[in-house]
């Protein structure tokens, strides 16, 4: 990406612009957006950054400005040197520890210890090195699901990025059939390289990971390998809402869906879509401005003391 547009505004205004972006169905996806605080000591002062593979046109600037309800604040436009900005943004990030998982880039040493699973995830063009609050929150939720006795024999990680969440789920349920998918073709070699680096078996048998490139659930292999006990999707709120019926159909009664990539302000809309699709909340985590949701599909018959056709409410007090 060789050009960047930056707009500065208070946090709530930038977050509202990001929500508007997800609801803009005619958005040009050559324009990649991100919002962040401008400094750690200024948590309420944010910036909206837009990266483009071309010099911004008047229409590009207008599309970004239209995301702001009162019009965009002053925007700066700059040409960037030829650099892999996605990889650069993920370098030199500190390791994280979530539940039994220690995740780090190759610049940091591995850790070993009782019950600890170390993952080395190099910075790459694929999303998900573990440091983002949504990815880290998903690792914590997977550990919580295991601790609460979730049984997983068949899992899928949709929008897998680097493959990290699929790897983590396979560690917790090592005999499960595992499938990972992403819409971006760059992720296939990244996932396979990361699997080899971390000793994760690839293939089509139980305990092995199969990687496919697919748009949502629109893939013959994803359909053939379902239905799933666990479906993971750390993507964006807009696609999560759109895919709710497909995800529900892909999960067994009593099965679990782990959702992330949504702001806390978007949670109600996402949960409503999944409630309509027959799922209810089992647990949630909030990390910063982000929500991580564990949903269970209504089961037929009795499940852990619940009434017929209902799921127990495990969300209380957590």
Would the pLDDT of 306 be above 70?
no
- pTM, two decimals, is 0.72
Whole-number pLDDT of residue 93: 67
What average pLDDT does this structure show over 226-232?
97
Whole-number pLDDT of residue 308: 35
What are the CA-CA distances from residue 270 to residues 25, 76, 237, 293 (Å)? 17, 33, 7, 10
Closest CA to 191 of 178, 209, 207: 209
Of 22-31, 156-165, 175-184, 308-317, the poorest mean pLDDT is in 308-317
- What the block records as the tokens of 191 is 């996932």
Q: Tell me the per-residue pLDDT of 250-277, one tens digit each, with 9 for 90 and over.
A: 999 999 999 999 888 899 999 999 999 9
Alpha-carbon span 283 to 274, nearest angstrom: 14
Q: Report the 10 Å Cβ neighbour count for 119.
A: 25
Tell me which range, 114-128, 179-193, 200-214, 285-299, is most confidently predicted by mean pLDDT.
Answer: 200-214
- What the block records as the tokens of 208 is 């092995």
Q: What are the residues whose beta carbons fall under 8 Å from the beta carbon of 306, sequence distance 6 or more?
A: 299, 312
Q: What are the residues whose beta carbons fall under 8 Å from the beta carbon of 279, sequence distance 6 or more?
A: 248, 251, 257, 295, 296, 297, 298
Of 99-108, 136-145, 298-307, the poorest mean pLDDT is in 298-307
Encode 198-209 in three state secondary structure.
CCCCECCCCCCE
Whole-number pLDDT of residue 318: 37
Q: Sheet of 3-10: strands edge to edge?
A: 32-37, 45-52, 3-10, 75-79
Q: Sheet of 279-287: strands edge to edge?
A: 209-213, 177-182, 154-158, 228-234, 251-263, 290-297, 279-287
Whole-number pLDDT of residue 263: 87
Helix (H) or strand (E) holding 108: none
Whole-number pLDDT of residue 71: 72
Alpha-carbon span 62 to 153, nearest angstrom: 49
Whole-number pLDDT of residue 286: 92
Q: What domains can you pick out in the chain, each with its CATH number?
A: 3-83 (3.30.70), 93-297 (3.40.50.150)
Q: Tell me the per-residue pLDDT of 148-178, one tens digit each, with 9 for 90 and over.
A: 999 999 999 999 999 999 999 999 999 999 9
Q: Give the whole-number percent of the chain exceeding pLDDT 90.
A: 52
What average pLDDT does this structure show over 288-314?
63
Mean pLDDT of the chain: 85
């Amino acid at each position: 990406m060789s050009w960047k547009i930056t707009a500065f505004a208070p946090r709530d205004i930038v977050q509202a612009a990001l929500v508007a972006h997800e609801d803009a169905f005619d958005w040009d996806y050559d324009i990649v957006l991100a919002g962040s605080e401008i400094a750690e000591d200024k948590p309420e002062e944010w910036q909206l950054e837009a990266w483009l593979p071309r010099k911004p046109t008047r229409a590009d600037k207008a599309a970004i400005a239209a995301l702001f309800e009162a019009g965009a604040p002053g925007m700066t436009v700059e040409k960037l040197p030829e650099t892999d900005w996605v990889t650069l943004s993920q370098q030199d990030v500190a390791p994280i520890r979530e539940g039994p998982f220690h995740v780090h880039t190759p610049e940091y040493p591995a850790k070993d210890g009782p019950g600890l699973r170390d993952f080395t995830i190099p910075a790459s063009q694929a999303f998900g090195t573990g440091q983002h609050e949504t990815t880290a929150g998903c690792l914590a939720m997977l550990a919580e699901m295991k601790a609460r006795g979730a049984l997983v024999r068949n899992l899928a990680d949709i929008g897998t990025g680097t493959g990290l969440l699929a790897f983590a789920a396979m560690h917790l349920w090592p005999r499960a059939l595992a499938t990972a998918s992403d819409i971006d073709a760059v992720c296939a070699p990244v996932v396979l390289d990361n699997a080899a680096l971390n000793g994760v078996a690839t293939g089509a048998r139980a305990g092995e990971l199969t990687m496919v490139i697919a748009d949502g659930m629109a893939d013959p292999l994803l359909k053939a390998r379902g239905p799933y006990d666990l479906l993971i999707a750390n993507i964006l709120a807009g696609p999560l809402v759109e895919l709710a019926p497909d995800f529900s159909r892909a999960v067994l009664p009593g099965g679990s869906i782990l959702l992330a990539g949504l702001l806390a302000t978007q949670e109600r809309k996402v949960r409503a879509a999944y409630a309509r699709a027959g799922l209810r909340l089992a647990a949630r985590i909030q990390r910063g401005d982000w929500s991580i949701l564990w949903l269970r599909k209504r089961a037929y018959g009795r499940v852990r003391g619940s009434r017929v056709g209902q799921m127990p409410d495990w969300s209380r007090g957590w």
